[in-house]
Amino acid sequence: AAPATPVRDADAEATLTYARGVLEAEARAILGVTERLGDAFLHALHLVRECAGQVVVTGMGKAGHIGQKLSSTLASTGVRSVFLHPAEAVHGDLGRVGPGDVILALSNSGSTEELLRLLPLFKRMGVPVVALTGDADSQLAKGADVVLDIGRIEEACPLGLVPTASTAALHAVGDALAMTLLRSRPFGRDDYALLHPGGKLGRSVLRVFELMRTGRANPLVVDTARLSEAVVVMTNTPGRPGAACVVDRDGKLEGIFTDGDLRRLVERGHQDFHVPVREVMGKRPRCITPETLVLTAAAQMRELRVDQLPVVDVEGRAVGLLDVQDLLAAKFF
């Protein structure tokens, strides 16, 4: 049985009030940083945008987790980036860093020992360091080339110790840097799709040409062929699409003949399989282009209640077929 809903008493209301206060404290911390963005942010943006190597993000503890997310965000938007664990760096992982790289070092206190140990090594390697910190007078800030100062932030914690509001601010500044960088670069939906082939994100930007059946799997029959030939093509085409695209001698789409059309002919007593397929095909079928979003094509299939959509190029040639089986396999239905 489902657990009973807790009774809303005075203690419950106080709990909710406190929880809302945590969110408000983190929101204030993020909004407070907006006033601090200035020339240092522009300098950091320039360093990252002009980076000839990769953006190396580093940090310990909670700041390190925020750093891993920042590195992942950069990579997902086409910026070469890796996360460098400061403790592992001094045991060989420093080899991840090379000429042309830029370091993004995250530490709210600016006194993280493992990070400070790396500063002279970064200096020796000639790579610039951008510090994201809450203390502009810290050793990290003094050893960095650029400082993004989030300021002193009161944590949203009853002890005043657990990194909460400060990590929210670090996270937000990292996102601001990554998204401003994205805005300044030629990176579009197709580029994003290339880097996100899996999951819901990948499906949302997938194009028809990535799923459609082509070559031997594209069931084509010329319009002068007999109906019996069209049925053979439908049966013998790999994947058995249950349809044949009818084309003229130049390969341009003229119509489509499907299993449903065949069943309806049989129900009406039609037994002449020697007639040209153009006489019994569906004329002027709805079709799509290779660049159509698969989500759009799937919506058309649902609306039209069809299992196949011919795919044509700009000259009207039947270059592929999108089958409902392909959409099911890709989890669009």
- 85 known member of a binding site: yes
CA distance 256 to 309: 9
CA distance 78 to 51: 13
Angle 307-310-314 (CA atoms, 0-180°, nearest 5)? 155
Nearest to 122 by CA among 49, 58, 41, 39: 58
What is the torsion angle, in degrees rounded to the nearest 10, for the CA atoms of residue 102, residue 148, residue 64 and residue 154? 180
Angle between helix axes 10-34 and 165-183 (nearest 10 degrees) is 40
CA distance 213 to 196: 22
Task: Give 300-333 as a DSSP string.
Answer: HHHHHT-SEEEEE-TT-BEEEEEEHHHHHHTT--
Residue 299, C-beta contacts closer than 8 angstroms, at least 6 positions apart: none
Binding residues for Zn(2+): 85
Binding residues: 85
